Structure 1
Amino acid sequence: MTLHGFSSKVVCKEFHLTLKGAARAWFEALLPGTIINFTKLACFFLTQVMASRKMRRPAAYLLMVKQRDDESLKSYISRFDRECITTYDQDEKITLAALLGGIWPCNPFMTEIAQRTPTLLREFMDHADGFINAEDMLLALTAPR
């Protein structure tokens, strides 16, 4: 929604339509009469909502993301991807190194990776997807009925 070109009064009244989640909850909790113009609303918004946003981390942070002993490869990669989103200076080589370095050493997938180490992130993901699919199929076939 674009509110450019409208008066301050209209922008103040319709601003809440652009908000989601915590920002919307904050706005709805404001007491009536708190906001007298858009400049004051903008100031409140920046100090209350923007200050509480998640800080982005350097890509080197990904080197600390490790697969847990009881975590499947699928869960680890999903968690790693969520952490990747929080980084600001992503580099494919660092991301791939962090991803490989974070896999639990006793994971059977490491045997496959040791035979042919991927040099591209896409290559790793394709290989991991094949392994995860095979692992999921084996679990489905051996699960009690």
Structure 2
Amino acid sequence: MARVWFGTLWTGSIDSFEELARQFLTQFMPNRRRRCPVAHLLTVKQREDKSLKTYLTHFNKERLTTDNQDEKITLAALLGEIWPRNPFMAELDRKTPSTLREFLDRADDFVNPENTLKGLVELMKGELKAKHKGSLGDKKVAPNH
């Protein structure tokens, strides 16, 4: 966007770097997103119908919008907002991570098999539907009178 804007400037319309900086700020400051306080992360929750991976992706996007990425608050937000019946919570109950890095490593170890299992379940559902559809197509059903 900045390059396109710069290309639209008239030759000789800017006399100094200060003038360029002023026009640049005038052009782009209104578009700047306001940073959220780190406490905003406490509002990011995992929903029952969302996977751990989806939640962590959403959480990390929100984390990038915060002012101060304090590790302890980030870890507390992550631990407190995972859906309570998520199987990962049982993993965390055995030993609560003490650092953000430890949490992320354990989550990554959990997410990879979770994704593989979901893929296999979806594959099996598809195969069962296809098999069920095929068996219904072979049978003649008498109409109800």
| TM-score normalised by structure 2 residue count | 0.72
Deviations 1:41-78 (A, max 9, x none): 32111112133212222211111111133221111111
Matched residue of 1:141: which SS?
helix
What residue number does 1:74 align with?
A: 53
Return 5+ residue gaps in structure 1 as ranges: 1-21
SS in 2 for 1:109: helix
* 2:142 corresponds to: none
Question: Matches of 1:65 and 1:83 in 2, distance apart?
Answer: 8
Q: Is structure 2 residue 50 aligned with structure 1 residue 46?
A: no
Q: What are the ranges of 5 or more consecutive residues in structure 2 without an aligned counterpart? A: 128-145
Residue 56 (str. 1) matches residue 35 (str. 2): yes
Whether the 8 Å CA contact 1:57–1:86 is kept in 2: the answer is yes
Say whether residues 1:36 and 2:14 are aligned partners.
Answer: yes
Partner residue, 1:8: none
RMSD value over aligned CA atoms?
2.1
1:124 paired with 2:110, answer no
- Number of the residue aligned with 2:87: 108
Greater CA deviation, 114-123 or 34-43?
34-43
1:34 deviation in Å? Answer: 8.2
Q: Distance in 2 between matches of 1:34 and 1:56?
A: 36
- In structure 2, the partner of 1:133 is 112
Contact 1:35 1:41 in 2 (8 A): no
4+ residue segments displaced more than 4 Å = none
Mapped partners of 2:63, 2:118: distance in 1: 28
Which structure would you say has the larger Rg?
Answer: 2
Match of 2:65 in 1: 86
Match of 1:16 in 2: none
- Rounded Cα–Cα distance in structure 2 between residues aligned with 1:25 and 1:111: 52
- Percent of matched pairs sharing the same residue: 54
